[in-house]
C-alpha cells in the first residue's frame, strides 16, 4: 500500500512508497481506510529536516497527524464499518507522568510522549492504518469532506477549555475576543469563539486572499492593522502567529482580568527591545494571565468533533484551499502563500 514517508533530519527525503507494509495488528484493533490527511507547518518542518523522529528501529517516518478515515472493521464493536474516524495524535509517555497517568497527555511533564507522524509513531498518510478504540474519535457522517480539520480543531478546543478554566477563578463574563493570525488555527479559534456567543475580532496582515471574507462569514470583524492600533480591550486574546512583536503586543492588549492564550510556536533567535517592567506592572495590577497551550487530550477531541458538527459545513470546506491527490504528494507538501489548509486526498 501507499505511504508518504521522510527520513527525519534529512532534507528532501520526502517519498511516496508504493509497497509499504500493511498496518500491524499491534497498532490497534480498528482497521481504517484513509480518506485524507491535512498538512500543516509541523509537516513542513519535518520535510525540511528540522523536526521529527522515526519509530524505534526504523529510519523512515510515515507523515500525517491530521487524519480522516473510514472504519473497515472493528472487532471490539466500539465503531461500525463505514464510520468516519480520526486518530488521536499523541500517546502518553511510558512512565507515566502524573498528567499522562490520568489521560491528560497534552500536559505531559517529561516530554516522553509519542505522536503519530511526528515523534516515534507512524503517521496516517498511508492507505490503511489501525487505531485502538481509546485513540479513535468518531465524526458526524456529514463531516466527510472536512473531517481532517478535527486535529487542528482539537488544539483550539483545548485552548478554549483552559481559557474557561482560568476564567473560572473569578466572576467572569467575557464579551470580546481578539484572535491574532488568520491561518487554520486562528480561524478555528475564531469559529469556537463565535459558538460561545462572543464578539469576535481577527487580526492578520493579509488584505487580499480568502482570509478577510472567511472572518466576515463567521460574523466576526477583520483587522489588518497592528494590535497596538486597535481601539479594543478584549477580555480574551488567542495568539496564533508566534511572531515575537505580535506576542508582546498581545500580552499588553487585554483588558483587566484578561486572559492571553499563546498557541503559536516561535522559531526563536530574534531579539527585540521591550519594557519588561511595564508588562509586569500591567499583568499584576490587572490580574491578567498569559499562558501557553499545545496539543489536546481525548476530551478536547470530542469537544472539537461536536464543534465541527455544529459549524457551517460550507465555511469549513472553504478553509481547504487545495485538495491534492496522493500521487501528486510533492505538490501538496510545497507551501504556497495562498494556502489556508492543504489536504492530501487518498481517495483520488
Interacting residues toward Zn ion by CB under 5 A: 93, 97, 100, 108
Select 82 or 103, whichever has its Cβ closest to Zn ion: 103
Write down the least CB distance from residue 93 to Zn ion, Å.
Answer: 4
Write down the least CB distance from residue 113 to Zn ion, Å.
Answer: 6
Write down the least CB distance from residue 6 to Zn ion, Å.
Answer: 26
Select 107 or 289, whichever has its Cβ closest to Zn ion: 107
Write down the least CB distance from residue 294 to Zn ion, Å.
Answer: 13
In SS3 terms, the chain reads as: CCEEEECCCCCCCCEEECCCCCCCHHHCCEEEEEEEEEECHHHHHHHCCCCCECCCCCCCEECCCEEEEEEEECCCCCCCCCCEEEECCEECCCCCCHHHHCCCHHHCCCCCCEEECCEEECCCCECEEEECHHHEEEECHHHCCCHHHHHHHHHHHHHHHHHHHHHCCCCCCCCEEEEECCCHHHHHHHHHHHHCCCEEEEECCCCCCCHHHHHHHCCCEEECCCHHHCCCCCCEEEECCCCHHHHHHHHHHCCCCCEEEECCCCCCCCCCCCCHHHHHHHHHHCCCEEEECCCCCHHHHHHHHHHHHCCCHHHHHHHEEEEEEHHHHHHHCCCCCCCCEEEEECCC
Write down the least CB distance from residue 298 to Zn ion, Å.
Answer: 14
Select 100 or 236, whichever has its Cβ closest to Zn ion: 100
Write down the least CB distance from residue 293 to Zn ion, Å.
Answer: 16
Write down the least CB distance from residue 125 to Zn ion, Å.
Answer: 26
Select 74 or 104, whichever has its Cβ closest to Zn ion: 104
Select 3 or 100, whichever has its Cβ closest to Zn ion: 100
Select 74 or 93, whichever has its Cβ closest to Zn ion: 93
Select 110 or 233, whichever has its Cβ closest to Zn ion: 110
Amino acid at each position: 500500500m501507499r505511504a508518504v514517508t521522510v527520513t527525519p533530519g534529512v532534507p528532501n527525503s520526502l517519498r511516496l512508497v508504493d509497497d509499504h507494509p500493511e498496518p500491524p495488528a499491534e497498532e490497534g484493533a480498528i482497521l481504517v481506510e484513509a480518506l485524507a490527511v491535512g498538512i500543516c507547518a509541523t509537516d513542513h518542518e519535518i520535510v525540511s529536516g528540522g523536526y521529527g523522529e522515526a519509530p524505534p528501529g526504523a529510519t523512515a517516518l510515515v507523515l500525517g497527524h491530521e487524519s480522516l478515515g473510514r472504519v473497515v472493521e472493528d472487532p471490539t464493536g466500539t465503531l461500525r464499518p463505514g464510520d468516519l474516524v480520526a486518530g488521536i495524535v499523541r500517546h502518553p509517555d511510558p512512565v507515566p507522568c502524573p498528567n499522562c497517568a490520568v489521560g491528560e497527555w497534552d500536559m505531559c511533564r517529561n516530554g516522553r510522549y509519542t505522536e503519530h507522524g511526528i515523534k516515534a509513531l507512524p503517521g496516517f498518510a498511508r492507505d490503511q492504518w489501525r487505531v485502538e478504540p481509546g485513540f479513535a474519535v468518531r465524526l458526524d457522517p456529514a463531516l466527510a469532506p472536512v473531517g481532517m480539520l478535527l486535529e487542528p480543531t482539537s488544539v483550539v478546543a483545548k485552548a478554549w477549555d483552559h481559557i474557561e478554566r482560568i476564567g473560572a477563578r473569578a466572576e467572569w463574563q467575557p464579551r470580546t475576543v481578539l484572535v491574532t493570525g488568520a491561518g487554520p488555527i486562528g480561524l478555528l479559534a475564531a469559529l469556537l469563539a463565535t459558538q460561545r456567543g462572543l464578539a469576535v475580532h481577527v487580526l492578520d496582515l493579509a488584505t487580499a486572499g480568502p482570509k478577510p471574507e472567511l472572518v466576515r462569514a463567521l460574523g466576526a470583524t477583520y483587522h489588518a492593522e497592528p494590535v497596538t492600533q486597535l481601539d479594543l480591550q478584549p477580555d480574551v486574546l488567542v495568539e496564533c502567529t508566534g511572531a515575537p512583536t505580535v506576542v508582546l503586543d498581545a500580552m499588553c492588549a487585554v483588558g483587566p482580568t484578561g486572559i492571553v492564550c499563546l498557541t503559536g510556536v516561535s522559531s526563536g533567535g530574534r531579539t527585540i527591545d521591550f519594557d519588561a517592567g511595564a508588562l509586569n506592572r500591567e499583568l499584576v495590577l490587572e490580574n491578567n494571565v498569559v499562558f501557553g497551550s499545545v496539543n489536546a487530550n481525548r476530551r478536547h477531541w470530542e469537544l472539537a468533533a461536536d464543534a465541527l458538527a455544529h459549524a457551517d459545513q460550507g465555511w469549513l470546506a472553504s478553509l481547504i484551499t487545495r485538495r491534492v491527490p496522493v500521487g501528486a504528494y510533492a505538490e501538496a507538501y510545497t507551501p504556497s502563500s495562498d494556502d489556508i489548509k492543504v489536504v492530501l486526498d487518498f481517495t483520488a
